[in-house]
Amino acid sequence: MKINKIHLRALELEDLEFLFEIENDRKLWKISNTILPFSKYHLKKYIKESNRDIFSEKQFRFVISLENKFPIGLIDLFDFDPVNHRAGIGIVIKDTHRNNGYGLESIKLIENFSIKNLQIHQLYVNIGIDNKISLDLFKNLRYLEIGIKKEWNYFEGQYTDEVMFQKIFRYD
């Protein structure tokens, strides 16, 4: 899957250092609800097992990479429900590659993939109320705010709200 300068691909063992860096970036733990660091051993095992069928695992992680295969981020489909044709999206772009439109392009790619290959009817995303960049991104992509989960996330002694968005695809 490719748009402009980026494409989505499966995780490879060569992505171990990149995955280690992303998963252990404490600035992202608030967003990912992570509380403990990941070892390279466990991440290597995860990569080896990550290419299982989305229908059995209910999730799949894609690497967002530049044309030279250089990884710049990750985008996940999770909570995949083939009966009701829906899934959640999670996305992270490395600090050094933000504000270049890669997040927007990646979401468009995952939408196209989901519709074409998984017959997705709707995608949803949960975003912390203080994550203005992500809130604006999904609003720009015409995701509809459908609710606020009050005091949903706890991080460093504080509860914060989380906003839920969804996008329904019509096949007319």
pLDDT tens digits, residue range 46-93? 888 877 778 878 889 999 999 878 899 999 999 999 999 999 999 999
Q: Could you tell me the residue ranges of all domains in the chain?
A: 2-168
The predicted structure's pLDDT at residue 109: 96
The predicted structure's pLDDT at residue 30: 65
Listing DSSP states for 86-121 in one string gives EEEEEEEE-GGGTTSSHHHHHHHHHHHHHHHHH--S
For the entire predicted model, the pTM comes to: 0.88
Given the candidates 2.30.40.10, 3.30.1490.100, 3.40.630.30, 3.40.1160.10, the CATH classification of the domain at 2-168 is 3.40.630.30
The predicted structure's pLDDT at residue 58: 86
Closest residue by Cα to residue 80 from 43, 40, 52, 38: 52
